């Protein structure tokens, strides 16, 4: 009987992207096996074109959707289920999906859902945290996976490319390879740079001849609107699904801004990035390679991983004037094309 593997990664955009190296590891270690993935409905289109994934099970955030999915999974006869997320819902799905063997992270309250368990955080070089994709690959290796690198890889569907062309046209972007994507908003308020700082950076980049596209997701339209008013000349991306967003990001010259899903999409397609960090650790969330630069606050409480903070000042203390110098320097070295751009205006 053919081996059947179920991988579970419910959300979010960047984390789903960073799970793709572990999915490749599973495929290499289990040649000929069917590999299916459970993810939340919003992210399903991103994985449907990834080579080696036979089926993507979309899931809504409701109890009824979860129970209905479990009933369907139990009829599939999975030999192995691997939980790359580790929250109570994903652990529940793993435990009750009917797989003969289960695996996940050693987490309090979830460990009983898995027969094979690995530490969520591994010991690495002194003073450094483990890259997020490496943690997922460790879990895949524990259940027979084979190393296949830590770089995220995605494949674009033809429909997503066509939708991206239309979205770029609506935004007035005729030359995306000469355009820098800006990500001003963030999932956490604490890791989002003040919009006034971002506006100053945008005005200076525009003054240096850079073409800019503000990228905001659902619910972030107000930030994009305010940014366009404070820095006239920025194009704004219409809200689109994740597959279209991926196809669009793949065509940009670079992506700059908050640690975010679009940044990880950019890395998956070889697009250079530059990001600032406060409560999150850059070594966990920065892909390898010099083309992915970052700026980390010097405050002693940095890397706290807090989503709320009563004295939030780690990101506000990162000067937009200094950011102009760092970003323009990084773009000069790594952006896909700098032909014809005036980089003299860096004050």
Length of the chain: 347
C-beta atoms surrounding 177 within 10 Å: 13
pLDDT of residue 8: 98
Provide the residue-wise pLDDT of the chain in tens; the chain has 347 residues: 789 999 999 999 999 999 999 999 999 999 999 999 999 999 999 999 999 999 999 999 999 999 999 999 999 999 999 999 999 999 999 999 999 999 999 999 899 999 999 999 886 666 678 999 999 999 999 999 999 999 999 999 999 999 999 999 999 999 999 999 999 988 888 999 999 999 999 999 999 999 999 998 878 888 888 999 999 999 999 889 999 999 999 999 999 999 999 999 999 999 999 999 999 999 999 999 999 999 999 999 999 999 999 889 999 999 999 999 999 999 999 987 644 333 333 33
CB of 105 within 8 A of CB of 117?
yes
**In terms of C-beta distances under 8 Å and separation of at least 24 residues, what long-range contacts does 268-276 make, across chains too?**
268/17, 268/20, 268/151, 268/152, 268/153, 268/154, 269/154, 271/336, 272/330, 272/331, 272/334, 272/335, 272/336, 274/326, 274/327, 274/330, 274/331, 276/193, 276/315, 276/318, 276/323
Which among 94, 87, 83 is positioned nearest to 109, based on CA atoms? 87
Q: Which residues are 277's β-sheet partners?
A: 296
Cα 118 from Cα 247, distance rounded (Å): 34
Cα 51 from Cα 305, distance rounded (Å): 34
By the 10 Å C-beta count (0-12 exposed, 13-18 middle, 19+ buried), 277 is classed as buried
By the 10 Å C-beta count (0-12 exposed, 13-18 middle, 19+ buried), 317 is classed as exposed
Query: What fold, for 158-334?
Result: Rossmann fold (3.40.50)
Cα 104 from Cα 110, distance rounded (Å): 8
Query: What fold, for 4-142?
Result: Rossmann fold (3.40.50)
Helix (H, G, I), strand (E, B) or coil at 339: coil
C-beta atoms surrounding 144 within 10 Å: 18
CB of 61 within 8 A of CB of 34?
no
Domain with CATH 3.40.50.2000 in the chain: 4-142, 158-334
The whole-model pTM stands at: 0.92
Helix (H, G, I), strand (E, B) or coil at 11: coil
pLDDT of residue 125: 62
CB of 292 within 8 A of CB of 272?
yes
pLDDT of residue 61: 95
DSSP H helices in the chain: 13-18, 20-29, 44-47, 63-74, 88-96, 132-142, 158-171, 195-207, 221-230, 242-249, 261-268, 282-285, 320-334
């Amino acid at each position: 009987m053919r081996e059947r593997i179920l991988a579970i990664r419910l959300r979010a955009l960047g984390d789903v992207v960073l799970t793709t190296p572990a999915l490749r590891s599973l495929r290499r270690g289990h040649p000929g096996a069917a590999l299916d993935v459970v993810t939340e409905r919003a992210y399903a289109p991103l994985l449907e074109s990834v080579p080696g994934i036979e089926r993507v099970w979309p899931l809504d955030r409701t109890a009824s959707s979860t129970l209905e999915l479990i009933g369907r999974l139990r009829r599939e006869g999975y030999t192995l289920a691997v939980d790359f997320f580790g929250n109570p819902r994903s652990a529940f799905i793993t435990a009750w999906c009917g797989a003969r063997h289960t695996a996940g992270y050693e987490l309090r309250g979830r460990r009983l859902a898995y027969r094979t368990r690995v530490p969520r955080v591994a010991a690495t070089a002194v003073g450094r945290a483990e890259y997020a994709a490496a943690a997922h690959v460790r879990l895949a290796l524990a259940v027979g996976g084979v190393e296949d690198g830590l770089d995220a890889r995605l494949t674009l569907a033809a429909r997503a490319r066509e939708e991206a062309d239309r979205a770029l046209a609506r935004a007035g972007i005729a030359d995306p390879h000469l355009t820098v994507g800006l990500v001003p908003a963030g999932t956490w308020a604490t890791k989002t740079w003040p919009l006034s700082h971002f506006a100053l950076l945008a005005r200076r980049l525009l003054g240096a001849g850079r073409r800019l596209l503000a990228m905001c997701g659902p619910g972030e339209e107000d930030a994009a609107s305010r940014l366009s008013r404070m820095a006239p000349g920025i194009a704004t991306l219409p809200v689109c699904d994740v597959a279209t967003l991926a196809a669009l990001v793949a065509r940009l010259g670079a992506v700059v801004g908050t640690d975010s899903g679009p940044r990880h999409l950019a890395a998956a397609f070889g697009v250079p990035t530059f990001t600032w960090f406060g409560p999150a650790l850059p070594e966990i969330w920065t892909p390898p390679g010099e083309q992915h630069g970052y700026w980390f606050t010097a405050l002693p409480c940095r890397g706290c991983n807090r989503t709320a903070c009563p004295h939030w000042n780690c990101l506000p203390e990162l000067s937009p004037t200094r950011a102009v110098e760092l970003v323009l320097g990084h773009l000069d070295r790594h952006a896909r094309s700098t032909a014809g751009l005036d980089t003299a205006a860096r004050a």
